[in-house]
Amino acid sequence: MDLVLIQLLNGVQYGLLIFLAASGLTLVFGIMGVINLSHGSFYMLGAYGALTLTQFTGDIFLSLALGVPLAFVFGFIIEWLFIRHLYDRDHLQQVLLTFALILIFNEAQKILWGSYPHSVPVPGYLQGGIKISQFLSYPYYRVAVAAFCVALALAMMFVIQKTRIGRIIRAGESNREMVEALGIDSRLLFRFVFASGAALAATAGIVAAPLESVYPGIGEPVLIISFVVVVIGGIGSIKGAFVGAILIGVADALGKVYFPAFSSSVVYALMAAVLIARPGGLFGRAA
């Protein structure tokens, strides 16, 4: 029973982390219509950025405060340099260019940080854990990450539902041309959305760094699982990304307990089931 409880908590926490990455991906895909394969690279750069920044700051949360604005600016520059040339092109060209970005980022990572795994320390004040039973406890850092992710998710939903920029983002998801025709510069909107997506993926990478080792290619599994979340939740839906990520996290964790031989297939089975029942995703428009 303890194992199931721990796995359930891990699943929810993993899902919350994946939500951060998937929410950026769903915004970029839903509003800009761009399939961004390099999204996982921003997660990787976030994790490696956390490694370097924490060597200077000594605290992962200070690294987060510095790393997120840097990731936003980096995303802004990448959009201006590369992504903006993709809007009027088909998905194949988007895939080719963003795949090329993965290769470039991976090489840059090897040059800057090498091919060996690294670890990022958990801050001293978050060492230890909450006692769940006589033999098990749940790490404070994981609780802190989950709380941070929930707070960020609530903040994002508030921004999307209640603010002017949120209205513009929602409108852009349904009719980009009309947004432009009503006086909103869609170039700036797209640049902002892409940079936000990059910052969200990097945020996930930064807070995840102390949870696992930081290693080459760390972003690729995140990219794949983020696409699964986007498909389950519905393209462009932040709420869908949240629900989809939690479902995936829990399914993955419980799959490891109950179906260890097929655990890696459980999330894809879940995706297939959702696609059969609701082809547009749980919160997406009908396909």
Q: How far apart are CA 282 and CA 268, in angstroms?
A: 15
Nearest to 207 by CA among 13, 10, 12: 13
Binding pattern to another protein, positions 34-63, x when CB under 8 A? Answer: ------------------------------
What six digits make up the tokens of 59?
């605290």
For another protein, the closer CB: 109 or 186: 186
Provide the minimum distance between the beta carbon of 153 and another protein in the complex, in angstroms, as a whole number.
Answer: 19
For another protein, the closer CB: 92 or 188: 188
Provide the minimum distance between the beta carbon of 21 and another protein in the complex, in angstroms, as a whole number.
Answer: 23
Residue 129, strand partner residues: 139
For another protein, the closer CB: 71 or 169: 169
Provide the minimum distance between the beta carbon of 31 and another protein in the complex, in angstroms, as a whole number.
Answer: 12
Provide the minimum distance between the beta carbon of 173 and another protein in the complex, in angstroms, as a whole number.
Answer: 7
Which region holds residue 58: left if phi is over 0, alpha if psi is between -120 and 50, else beta?
left
Provide the minimum distance between the beta carbon of 42 and another protein in the complex, in angstroms, as a whole number.
Answer: 26
For another protein, the closer CB: 79 or 173: 173
For another protein, the closer CB: 50 or 238: 238
The residues, ordered by sequence, that sit 6+ positions from 174 with a Cβ below 8 Å of its Cβ are none
C-alpha dihedral sign at 129, 153, 272, 93: negative
Residue type, 102: I
Provide the minimum distance between the beta carbon of 12 and another protein in the complex, in angstroms, as a whole number.
Answer: 28
Provide the minimum distance between the beta carbon of 86 and another protein in the complex, in angstroms, as a whole number.
Answer: 18
For another protein, the closer CB: 139 or 172: 172
Binding pattern to another protein, positions 90-109, x when CB under 8 A? Answer: --------------------
The residues, ordered by sequence, that sit 6+ positions from 153 with a Cβ below 8 Å of its Cβ are 16, 19, 23, 242
Q: How far apart are CA 249 and CA 229, in angstroms?
A: 10
Q: How far apart are CA 86 and CA 34, in angstroms?
A: 7
Compute how many residues bind another protein; rule: CB under 8 A: 17
For another protein, the closer CB: 142 or 176: 176
The residues, ordered by sequence, that sit 6+ positions from 276 with a Cβ below 8 Å of its Cβ are none
Based on the number of CB atoms within 10 Å of its own CB, is 246 exposed (0-12), middle (13-18) or buried (19 or more)?
buried
Binding pattern to another protein, positions 214-233, x when CB under 8 A? Answer: --------------------
Binding pattern to another protein, positions 160-199, x when CB under 8 A? Answer: -------xx-xx-xxx-xx-xxxxxxxx------------
In a 3-state reduction of DSSP, which class is residue 184?
coil
Helix axes of 140-162 and 186-208: crossing angle, nearest 10 degrees = 170
Reported in sequence order, the residue ranges of the chain that DSSP labels E, i.e. its strands, are 129-131, 137-139
For another protein, the closer CB: 2 or 185: 185
Provide the minimum distance between the beta carbon of 185 and another protein in the complex, in angstroms, as a whole number.
Answer: 5
Binding stretches for another protein (CB under 8 A): 167-168, 170-171, 173-175, 177-178, 180-187
